[in-house]
Structure formats: C-alpha cells, structure tokens
Amino acid sequence: MMSPFAEEIKKQDVVDQLTWDDSVNANEIYVNVRDATVELRGTVQNFTAKMAAERDTYQVPGVRNVENHLEIDFPPGITLPGDGEITENLEHMLSWNSEITAENIEVSTKDHEVTLSGQVGSYWEKYLAGNYANSIRGVIEVVNNLTVKPDRTVVDEHIAEDIRKAFRRTLLIEEDRIRVEVHNGIVHLSGSVPGFLTKIQANNIAIYTSGVKDVVDEMTIS
C-alpha cells in the first residue's frame, strides 16, 4: 500500500499540473488520491476546462485512473447564451465543417445540456461532432446519441487487422500489449499500456479506422 507521504507527493504533483495549465482555473479544484486513482471534485469555468483537467491529471507519472466529478460554474457577471442560441451556434458549426456530413444530425439543448441524435456515416464523425458540441460556449454537458451507419461495410476481421497494422506503424504502441476485438463493428480495446499518451493514440487509431461503429476502451495504465 502506498504510504501517506507518497500519496501526498503525488497529490501535490497533480495540483501543480492543474495550476500550470492556464486554461484550467484550479482554484476550486479539490484533489484526492487513492493509490493510483485520482479523484477530482469542485468547479471549473467551462466544459473544456473540465476535460483539460482530466487530461492534465493523466499526464502525471503514476496516475492510472481519473474520476472526474468536476462541475461547471460559469464566472459571475458573464451573460451566457440561452438554449436556443447554443443549438443554433452548434448547428452552424456543424454545417460549416467540411469534415462532417451534418444533414442527418439533430441538435437539442435543455438547461445548457446538448443532446446529439440522428445518424452519421463514420464513428470519427460522431466523435468530432461531440467535440464541437463540447466547445460551444455555455455548454455544461453533451449527450452523444448519434448512431453510426458506415458508408461501406467492412467485416470485423478486417477492421481488427487494420487497427493492428496501424499499431505496428506507431512508435508509442507495443502491439502485443493491447488486445483488439471487434464485434458487429464495435471495437473493444483491452490490455495494459505504459501511459496516457499511448492510451489516447490507441483510441485515436480505432476511432479513425474505416467501418468502426463504436469504440469501448477497457485499457489500463500500468
């Protein structure tokens, strides 16, 4: 079991990392460390800062899991867009983006929570649409209910092999440490990776592989 002194050092490393990131106002973030898991509680100024705080925490050596319970508390005195304006802003952003075919995407907003529904032709389009929604001013949460209907059918075995080949071309990834299973276009990644950057890289490869309908990340950090 990790000693209290070692826990306190790791906690300070996390606090220092969050304080370093200028996009995250860490004044109201409270950090708790349980062995290799870090719990984040408190408030941040927007959804982007919430995601950045989680990303920063994963980059601290030794952190294997992050429980992100941060809530969004917009700074006082700032006039936020209403639900209708948030919906309109996101619809414009999606329609102007040449990477995403947005004609079958429906956007709704209630109490600053955005829900995406409808259909896209690839999993990476669903992923990007969710990221765009997260970046819209005034959004506190995104529910991505988009379904993926690939433009062309790719058998599961070919999807898995395409992912493995991409792993071999990537310096960060040791292929034999990650298990790739594909069932009906849904990719399951499991195994142990050495760090957060490797985990992100493996996920990105799966996200952008042709024929993928969803990605389930069960990888652990060792």
Euclidean distance between CA atoms 87 and 107, whole angstroms? 6
Taking residue 12's Cβ as centre, other Cβ atoms within 10 Å add up to 13
Q: Which residue has the tokens 């606090």?
A: 15
Q: Which positions ≥6 away from 217 have C-beta within 8 Å? A: 189, 199, 203
Q: Which helix (H) or strand (E) segment is 219 a member of?
A: strand 214-221
Q: Are 101 and 120 in contact (CB under 8 A)?
A: yes
DSSP-derived secondary structure letter, 152:
S
- Cα separation values, 186 from 134, 166, 212, Å: 24, 17, 6
pTM of the predicted structure, to 2 decimals:
0.82
What is the pLDDT tens value at each position of the chain, 222 positions in all?
555 555 555 889 999 999 999 999 899 999 999 888 999 999 998 888 999 999 999 989 888 889 999 998 887 777 889 999 999 999 999 999 888 988 999 999 999 999 999 999 999 999 999 999 998 989 989 999 999 999 888 999 999 999 999 999 998 899 899 999 999 999 999 999 998 899 999 999 999 999 999 999 999 988
Determine the residue type at 46.
N
Q: Which two tokens stand for residue 177?
A: 């440490």
pLDDT of residue 25: 87
Total residue length of the chain: 222
Task: Report the candidate in 136, 83, 87 with the shortest Cα–Cα distance to residue 111.
Answer: 83
Q: Which positions ≥6 away from 27 have C-beta within 8 Å? A: none
pLDDT of residue 115: 98
Q: Where are the beta strands (DSSP E) in 62-104?
A: 65-68, 71-72
Euclidean distance between CA atoms 22 and 181, whole angstroms? 39
